[in-house]
Structure 1
Amino acid sequence: DALNVWKSQLVDPNNVLQSWDPTLVNPCTWFHITCNSQNSVVRVDLGNAGLSGPLVPELGMLAHLEYLELSRNNLSGPIPSEIGNLTTLFSLDLDHNQLTGSVPPTLGNLKLLRFLRLNDNQLNGKVPIQLFQLIYWGNLQI
């Protein structure tokens, strides 16, 4: 599944992902993962975990995700456009990493988003106008 694909790409020097057992059908017992009553992943909370590696397109398959909290790691590479598939996302926190490239316009699909933090990365280019078309911003830091 999406989380196992991502784990396989990450360097985890602090072993914060050691509970992420690929033999378990349900990731709801893993540390740093929160699920709803239907056993769908709604939160990934790995801020300040010392992780290195990319964000993978498969993260866009977490259809019920509401919080993606990944600040203060060493994540690198581009923000996958597939993150724009996470239409239930309320908070996207990617600040203080080593992310590169431009901000994908597909983030404009995140109509429920209230918190977006992309600051202190190595992103370039203009902020896509689609982000400014979202109805409400609680906290925007780019």
Structure 2
Amino acid sequence: MLLTTVSSDGLTLLSLLTHWTSVPTVIRSSWKASDSNPCSWFGVQCDHNHNVISINLTRLGISGQLGHEIGNLYHLQTLVLLGNSFSGTIPSSLGNCSKLEHLELSFNRFSGEIPESYLKAWESTVA
């Protein structure tokens, strides 16, 4: 019997799904615990060490909240969620993504402000 273990980044992505109330088929059919390599999942790119560095889920009709688990993607450089129906607040844990260089959250239904923890992390990347 062959057992596969999903990487920690893969587990993080799967836990994000639990916060989404509307998930398109292209994600449901691609983001699977049975596939241990999230680098092959729709909208996900990885570096040579198989760390998730980019998530691009533009205009897919996703609704729900962006879970606090997003902050566990320590190597994330790009997060594009443009044109969905995400709601609620932007998780303060996003500040843990200290390598984040491109953040695109436009045309969603987020409320509140960008957490100060993220702004402080971002300031260190501005020259």
Q: For residues 59-98 of structure 1, give each alpha carbon's deviation from its aligned partner in whole angstroms, at most 9, with x where no partner exists.
A: 0000100000001100000000000110001101001100
- Specify the alignment match of 1:9 in structure 2: 19
Q: For residues 86-116 of structure 1, give each alpha carbon's deviation from its aligned partner in whole angstroms, at most 9, with x where no partner exists.
A: 000110100110001222101121233xxxx
Q: Distance in 2 between matches of 1:103 and 1:66?
A: 17
Q: Is the partner of 1:42 in helix, strand or coil?
A: strand
- Specify the alignment match of 1:126 in structure 2: none
Q: Distance in 2 between matches of 1:61 and 1:87?
A: 11
Is structure 2 residue 42 aligned with structure 1 residue 65? no
Per the TM alignment, residue 15 of structure 1 is displaced from its structure 2 partner at its CA by 1.3
Alignment length, in residue pairs? 113
- Specify the alignment match of 2:105 in structure 1: 94
Q: For residues 103-134 of structure 1, give each alpha carbon's deviation from its aligned partner in whole angstroms, at most 9, with x where no partner exists.
A: 2101121233xxxxxxxxxxxxxxxxxxxxxx
- Which of 50, 54, 67 aligns to 2:65? It is 54
Equivalence map 1:16-31=2 (5 Å): 16-17=26-27, 18-31=29-42
Q: Distance in 2 between matches of 1:25 and 1:16?
A: 17
- Normalising to structure 1: TM-score of the pair? 0.75
Q: Is the partner of 1:16 in helix, strand or coil?
A: helix
Is structure 2 residue 70 aligned with structure 1 residue 36? no
Per the TM alignment, residue 26 of structure 1 is displaced from its structure 2 partner at its CA by 2.0
Q: Distance in 1 between matches of 2:64 and 2:79?
A: 16
The answer to which of 29-38 and 102-111 deviates more is: 102-111
**Structure 2: runs of 5 or more not aligned:** 1-10
- Specify the alignment match of 2:3 in structure 1: none
Q: Is the partner of 1:88 in helix, strand or coil?
A: coil
Q: Which protein is richer in helix relative to its size?
A: 2
Q: Distance in 2 between matches of 1:20 and 1:97?
A: 22
Per the TM alignment, residue 8 of structure 1 is displaced from its structure 2 partner at its CA by 2.0
Identity %: 33
- Specify the alignment match of 1:121 in structure 2: none
